Amino acid sequence: MKLNWGYKLMLVIFVFIGMMGYLVYQCLNTKYELVANDYYKQELQYQKIIDGRNNADALTSQPSIQLADGKISIQLPNEMKNIPVNGHVYFYCPTAESSDRFLPFQPNAEGTQILDAKTLQPGNYTVKLDWTANNRYYYTEKQLNILK
């Protein structure tokens, strides 16, 4: 059977409509993850982060975050030893919001806290560490790669 130009045009239009419908369906079912749901509130308090980074940079050394034997070791500088410290550790995974972890940071008298790396999914993390000591706020970020 030979198709004339009218049927060919109608076939092209139907294929085009079908492809557009598929693209709209895919767009409606795509999950979009924001870095933070309350990003505006966080932006208003960003000066606190800047001050915390400056305070952390003024320390004699930077906190170290190391992964060894399935454990994550967070070590504060020597000047933070025997000082009460409270804070938070936020493991931010840029590829999957479900992998993010927000944990309390309560180091021992030596300024060390050990965390179990098995609670985290393998991937690249930005470890956001904030703590308060002697009524001063400190903030730092380190990169951490957790392999399987």
CA–CA–CA angle 110, 116, 119 (5° rounding): 145
Average pLDDT of 100-105? 92
Residue with tokens 């305070």: 55
What pLDDT does 36 receive? 74
**Residue 85 burial (CB count, 10 A):** 20
Predicted confidence (pLDDT) at residue 148 exceeds the cutoff of 80: no
Residue with tokens 């993850």: 33
Q: What are the respective helix, strand and coil percentages of the chain, to the nearest 5? A: 35, 35, 30
Task: Note whether 148 and 118 are within 8 A (CB).
Answer: no
What pLDDT does 65 receive? 92
The reported pTM is 0.76
Rounded CA separation 90/129 (Å): 6
Mean pLDDT over the full length of the chain: 90
Average pLDDT of 33-51? 83
Rounded CA separation 123/125 (Å): 6
Predicted confidence (pLDDT) at residue 33 exceeds the cutoff of 80: no
Strand partners of residue 75:
64, 112
Share of residues in the chain with pLDDT > 70 (%): 99
What pLDDT does 38 receive? 79
pLDDT digits (tens, 9 = 90+) for 51-93: 999 999 999 999 999 998 889 999 999 888 888 999 999 999 9
What pLDDT does 82 receive? 87
Average pLDDT of 120-134? 93
Rounded CA separation 91/143 (Å): 10
Predicted confidence (pLDDT) at residue 25 exceeds the cutoff of 90: yes
Measuring CA to CA, which residue among 69, 64, 77 is closest to residue 116? 69
